[in-house]
Amino acid sequence: MNPINPIYYGKNGIKEINNFIKKNKPSKIVFLVDENTHEFCYPQIISDIETDTEIEILEIEPGEENKNLYVCINLWEALTELKIDRKGLLINIGGGVLTDMGGFLASCYKRGIDFINIPTTLLAMVDASIGGKTGVDLGSHKNQIGAFSLPQMVAVDTGFLSTLPQEQILSGFAEIIKHGLIADKEYWKEIISLKEIQTEDLEKLIKTSIEIKKQVVSQDFTEGGLRKILNFGHTIGHAIESFFLENKNPVLHGEGVAMGMITESYISVKKGLLSHREYEEVKEYISSLYPKLDLKKEDFEDIFTFMQNDKKNTNNEIKFVLLENIGKAAYDISVDKDLIKEALYMYIDS
């Protein structure tokens, strides 16, 4: 077991950041924000930070289309102009785009400076900011360039969720659903029993989801095996996201993953794993929450091309994470093109 970095909740997060600064005495602190977190989250955070250390702010534009090497180069140049040395500390405040890219930025700058994540979206709280995956997209290929690198800590404050639009909550909620499906049937039942997604319920779900993710990552940090189960719904989901991104009509990550979880559950049935009854339960619940994506059968070849580039593939085979039943996933399962096509057509026709 490799325990991952500490995760602190609520006001404890800022308290621990202050302790970290006091103990480690960074030469400068740089906050990486986007336009939204600069306006809505940074003021609250900075008012609680206790330090005389010089502080700088770097701001990027929000959105997946800005998670790329060109933006990184600008930011590395900015860090250089600000004379940030190896004792500098980067604090990332934002959603998955920002924590993924900020972590990557810090990991490569002068071969690595300390960084801390303060996730402000549900998606970043339960997934992106936890577990040390950092990186950027390459063209339309999601997270094609990156590194495993753990932050010094993650500070989760669900208070930030109140500034989020409902569609962003729903996007992160797809990862919560995924955690139930791959690891814990009781958790799945708890999720589907909720009449609506309310902040009080989310606090508990966030902790359970983070616990599930921590358990998995601590057994397999660099994704040699077990960690792959966290990619359930993502083989098709990422390809769908890339497809829409390339066509200048991006969908939210959770929308792609929701569609991916339905189609990959269908494939699970066809592979003789998941029961038809459980598949119907998964499909019905996810379809009740997420909009149906506007796909056409003729889009399949383009989507399949993206799938061929999936990081989990080996020897030119597309490897899937599938469900054996609700609460248990299997990984490294080869699925042929015809079955993937059948799953996509099923989604389009249903």
Given the complex with ligand GLY, which of 88 and 132 has the nearer CB atom? 132
| CB of 156 vs ligand GLY, minimal distance in Å | 15
d(CA 92, CA 288): 34
Given the complex with ligand GLY, which of 4 and 29 has the nearer CB atom? 4
| CB of 151 vs ligand GLY, minimal distance in Å | 13
Contacts with ligand GLY by CB under 6 A lie at 127, 131, 133, 227, 230-231
| CB of 187 vs ligand GLY, minimal distance in Å | 17
Secondary structure (3-state) at 30:
strand
Given the complex with ligand GLY, which of 80 and 219 has the nearer CB atom? 219
CA–CA distances in Å: residue 60 to residues 9, 12, 101, 103, 241: 26, 27, 11, 14, 22
Q: Which residue is nearest to ligand GLY (CB)?
A: 230
| CB of 225 vs ligand GLY, minimal distance in Å | 12
Given the complex with ligand GLY, which of 161 and 230 has the nearer CB atom? 230
**Residues 11, 14, 17, 18: what is their CA dihedral angle, to the nearest 10 degrees?**
-110
- φ, ψ at 154 (rounded to 5°): -125, 130
Tokens 């950041």: give the residue.
17
Residues 6+ apart with CB under 8 A from 103: 92, 115, 117, 132, 133, 134, 135, 149, 151
d(CA 343, CA 11): 45
Given the complex with ligand GLY, which of 131 and 254 has the nearer CB atom? 131
Q: Cα–Cα–Cα angle for 117, 122, 123, nearest 5°?
A: 75
Tokens 């405040």: give the residue.
93
Amino acid sitting at position 98? L
Given the complex with ligand GLY, which of 29 and 126 has the nearer CB atom? 126
| CB of 186 vs ligand GLY, minimal distance in Å | 22
Given the complex with ligand GLY, which of 131 and 260 has the nearer CB atom? 131
| CB of 175 vs ligand GLY, minimal distance in Å | 8
| CB of 110 vs ligand GLY, minimal distance in Å | 25
**CA pseudo-torsion sign 67, 315, 328, 274:** positive
